[in-house]
Structure 1
């Protein structure tokens, strides 16, 4: 049975999107290069990439809907069905999972009554697993519409989603102020970020990353910071020479296998020694 044509945008919406699309396409020497930002553009209109949105992109770029669909279904940043105002992603990649990401995700599933990639009944929150966002020194990390919420716990993440649902002001740990998913999509399409404070927003590497940088420069373990208990800010512990009884972060200094696992030393075998 042939598929029915995608419904069209209302005339006023279509005119506005066409004007925006023209601006986006003009940035590229080849029109098909504008497909990714155009998909963000239509996502900013409906909160997901609908059949109507894909047909619009195909029409603007002279592509087939199959070509547009292939791209829209390849990248996880494009939603294929209606989603929440806030995309709450819990990193469950290796380090975040070890540091508590799995526990955070399980708590939020129970608290919100949704599973992975599902949206709450009020349309506020879509919960999902996310892959590494290069913030391992802040693990475990939760992302809301791609803004960082670092060093989370099940309790802090629960409060975070409750505040979002209640409409209370929520401030990311670093980076730009939080905005809705549709607003985020428009920014990703390449349009100016109009949020107050967005231009001045900054983010930086955490203490563990900087320790790794110092070690790579050969500055030695004496420059390393011993990782304190969870909840202790990086400023609470000044760099110093660790005593033999202190536990270093795995980032602080590499160890010989024999040091980390005395039962299985890494040295040559008896045969090799002979």
Structure 2
């Protein structure tokens, strides 16, 4: 609920004093407001701008850039589903649909009992556990099968109560490097050495022993997508 921002000015002053330049305190000041009020209102944006000497437009740019800030009241818990490309490739679309079906809300909405707000966000920097989500301050993933229902049940649990979702395990690659596998070879920059080290094997197979339809099907199975901005499925571009 809205608060009296003047009650925060002593704390805000202490935050500003930590920085050589007042405007460097913008993020912690916005976070202070959100912790106390639950969201950053237009009045709070103006208040922060006045304290550090920047325009309201500048403050709004920062608030709208970061997923962690809200501009309207949210539920007691927030469930954020990552829909950046790595998570999409691992099934984030299906994950989001299951959550929407169970909670009966869409991204940007809150359940009628004000318990859960569902958000669709960009990269949460946890690609190794894709598809993943964030419940309040916890990262959870990979989310598949029963883990999705467990996550939703936890989201419907009061904050502070015991939760069933397991802590994610650290990512360990057991089969060695993939993209950097040839970095050890100082001559790998030359075409002849690259080919001698099994370079272009897949390309040779595609060109000499597969039909265009078979190549397209392999690309479709691999779920390869372009990086032109939309992450559009490559196989669909070829058909």
What are the within-5 Å matches in structure 2 for residues 191-270 of structure 1? 204=170, 206-208=171-173, 211-212=176-177, 215=181, 218=184, 256-259=199-202, 262-264=205-207
Task: Report the counterpart of residue 106 of structure 1 in structure 2.
Answer: 97
Residues 257 and 264 in structure 1, CA contact (< 8 A), matched pair in contact too: no
Corresponding residue to 2:50 among 34, 43, 59: 59
Residue 156 of structure 1 and its aligned partner are, at CA, apart by 1.7
Q: Aligned residue for 1:135?
A: 126
- Whether the 8 Å contact between 2:3 and 2:37 is mirrored in structure 1 is no
Instruction: Give unpaired runs (5+ residues) of structure 1.
Output: 1-7, 176-202, 220-253, 266-274
- What's 2:16 paired with? 25
1:63-108 Cα distance to aligned partner (Å, 9 max, x none): 3333322322233322111112222122222232222211110000
TM-score (norm 1): 0.60
Q: 1:211 to 1:90 in 2, by over 3 A?
A: farther
Residue 14 (str. 1) matches residue 25 (str. 2): no
- State the alpha-carbon separation in 2 of the partners of residues 255 and 160 from structure 1: 43
The one of 160, 163, 173 equivalent to 1:170 is 163
Q: Could you say which residue in structure 2 is the equivalent of 1:158?
A: 149
Do 1:91 and 1:140's aligned partners in 2 also have CA atoms closer than 8 Å? Answer: yes
Q: How many residues align?
A: 193
Matched, 1:42 2:33: yes
Secondary structure at 1:55's aligned position in 2? helix
Q: Contact 2:150 / 2:164 at 8 angstroms: preserved in 1?
A: no
Residues 137 and 209 in structure 1, CA contact (< 8 A), matched pair in contact too: no
8 A Cα contact 2:78 2:136, kept in partner: yes
The 3-state SS of whatever aligns with 1:114 is coil
**TM score, norm. by length of structure 2:** 0.68
User: Where does the alignment leave 5 or more consecutive residues of structure 2 unmatched?
Assistant: 186-196, 209-239
Equivalent residue for 2:60? 69
Q: Quick one: distance in 1 between partners of 2:60 and 2:49? A: 9
Distance 1:255 1:102 in 2: 35
Residues 163 and 170 in structure 1, CA contact (< 8 A), matched pair in contact too:
yes
Distance 1:72 1:114 in 2: 24
Name which of 68, 77, 102 aligns with 1:86. Answer: 77
Residue 154 of structure 2 contacts residue 164 of structure 2 at CA under 8 Å; is this kept in 1? no
- The RMSD of aligned alpha carbons is 3.1
Would the aligned equivalents of 1:139 and 1:152 in 2 still touch at CA under 8 Å? yes
